[in-house]
Structures are given as structure tokens and as C-alpha cells.
Structure 1
Amino acid sequence: MIDTIPELNGAGLQLLRIPAEVDVPLTGRVVQILDTPSMQRLRRISQLGLVSYVYPGAVHTRFEHSLGVYRLACLTLRHLLANESVLASSTTTDEIKIFLLAALLHDIGHWPYCHAIEDLRLAEFPRHEELARTLICDSPLAVVIEREWSVEPARVAELIASTRDGGAEPSVLRSLLSGPVDIDKLDYLQRDSLHAGVPYG
């Protein structure tokens, strides 16, 4: 199955280097996702909001973090599909593509200072999960997902939403994206620590 997913088989990949000296594998269809206005806006959104006022190095972005989570998704899937026959035989190609997209797009709905504003519970501000669904399903991003990945954008949005609300059923892929130990946490704990100059662990 790894051979059918270009992001996992390693053929014809470009590499993009991000801190901490790691290479993110890029295919043409991943680059098309990254080039959408919805993804490019994440370049201007701080991962840690106002933390840079205390830790001046903590100026990394949601874009960098999204690339890091996507990279971990590729590494994790490559390992699990090669070594866990039950998972490999029970997971479809579409489920893998949806998972990779969800890893890359999991923070697409964030805006500047999102968590601080959401904590105020202001009715006039939609939750970032609602914005994520809109951006994934009703924007140029939806066209790229349908045309290049051949999956329904709504399924990507549903996987991202299910990681926030618990979803209808347990899923190995969902728990890899959001669980007690998941690829999102693995990336941001290391990345935030690196940029803030504060050791973690």
C-alpha cells in the first residue's frame, strides 16, 4: 500500500527543511495545498501568540508547525504500514490520504491569538474548527483536495473535527492525530521548546 501513496513511497519528492534540521517530504499535490491562500495565511499566524514577548525566539508559525505535523504523519504511517499488518490490511488508500491531509490542515482554521480569544467565549467569534470546515470545504483548497487527492474535502474536515469532539468511533488514525500522545503534541512540544529556548522533558 505504501507504493500507491507518493507521500510515503519516497519517489520524486522535494524536501523542505524546517527547524530542528528536519526535512519535510513534498510532492506536487502537497505543494498545491501549501500554495493555497488558506495555507499561506498560516505563515502570518504565530504558533504561540504573545509568548514571544517573554521568549523572543518563539516567533515560529502555524505554517511551520503544520509542516512538522505532516512530516510526523508521513514517518508514522510509513512505519506502521510496513510493520503492522492488521493496520495495513484494514486501512484504505483514501483513509491514508485523508489522514495526511488532516495532519497538514489540522490548524487551518486558526487566526491570530485564537486560543486566547476562544477562551473569552465571545459569541461573535466562530470556533476555529468551524472556520476550518469552511476553508476545507468551500474554498480553492476544496478544489485541490478533490482534483489532486481524489477524496471528499468534507471527509478531511470530519476527521479534523472528530479529533476535537471525540468522534463517533475509535480510530487508530484519529488517535494518531489527537490522543494522549499524538503527532500534533510531538511536534509542538519539541518545536515550541526549541524556539522558546526552554528545554522540554
Structure 2
Amino acid sequence: MRALVVVVVVMTMGVGVLLLIDPFSAMFHIESRFPTDRQITASYVNVGLVHLEDCNLTVSFINDTSLVYAMDIQLYSPTLMSSAFQLTVENYTGFIHVTLIAAVRIRSFNLTLGIGKPYSVAILQGVNLNSTVTYSNGAVLGKDLRYEATGVLRSIFLEDVNFTVGGLTVRVGISSMYHPNMAHIYVDLPPGLNGEFGCMSDPYPYIMHDEG
């Protein structure tokens, strides 16, 4: 038996997104793109995922400047979309704010982001997550990654990204009861670029550099 995937495509960015459908399913695909008929005033996108539990989470980037986000969500059991999570999108003068708050356990969550803007990504109040966050494929750096969840975190930074003056700030489990039981950090910096990595349990940061 093939599972039914509910697809919701949001083509415009307004102050809030109202979805007039409330499908019943265990799998959802939600996608949003920048409008092509007017100038985008937002300088970055803020994405927050809240209250994920017992979830395999993947965050990645693709070489697509028109994509704001694509979410592929699989629940543990079918339910109404409005009962599974709350998704809000708000368009401010300087940034776009996207928040998804889970109301039930989500088995897997694949968040795909574009490369048209820098992203501020926050995973908050997560419980028992198996997470992989990968910056690659031309992702535009310049904002931050805030991760506050229990479980396992794999954070991967590859050299095929677009660096900005602001760089990328990563905060893992800071000032929160939600911190990973295990974190794997892999960084591949481009030649000649330096960086800094620190953690709360060690007051001395590690200086990373590429000898090439």
C-alpha cells in the first residue's frame, strides 16, 4: 500500500500564511518560494523548528535561489495537518520569519533550504532527535545556527558555501536544558580561511585553519 503524500505549495510571502485545506495524512510536503513579480526586501530568512520529539531531522541546502523552504514531514501515524503541527510565515521589512511548532511526534523531518538568502536556523526544545545539519551547495552564510535539543547532532560544514563578512555563528545547547547527548562537528574550510569553534564545557576556543 502506497502512502498518500499531501503537497502544499505556498507561492507568495505575505504577513502570515493561511492554509485553507486541512488534509488527513501521515506524510506532508510543504514548499514556499520567493515571488518573481516583485523585489524581495527581506535580507535573510529566520526558520524555527520547535517541540520536535523522537525525530530524524535533516537540514540541508540546494542550489536554488527561488526556494524559501521545502519541508518533507512523516508522522508516526496519520492525523489532520492542523493537529500535527502549526506553521506560520511572517514577512517583515528586514526578514522572513518561518516557525513550525510540532503538536505530535514526527518520525522524520527533512528541511531543504535555498541559497537566495542567508538563513538563521533554530531547533528549539527538541527531545531525542537524530539530527544532521549540512551547509553546502552554495549556502549563504552570515547568520546563525541555534541548536537546543537532546539526542545526537551531526553538523557538517563543507567548503562549497558562500561566506560573508558576518560568517556563521553556531550555538549548541547554550543556556538551555536541551543539549545534545553527543555532537559530531565536521568542518572543511576553503584554503586560506580561518574559523573559531568553542563549546560551553571548555572556555578556550579551538582555532581552525587550513594550511593551504
Which is bigger in relative contact order (C-alpha 8 A, separation at least 6)? 1
TM-score (norm 2): 0.21
If each structure's helix is expressed as a fraction of its own residues, which one has the higher value? Answer: 1
TM-score (norm 1): 0.22
If each structure's strand is expressed as a fraction of its own residues, which one has the higher value? Answer: 2
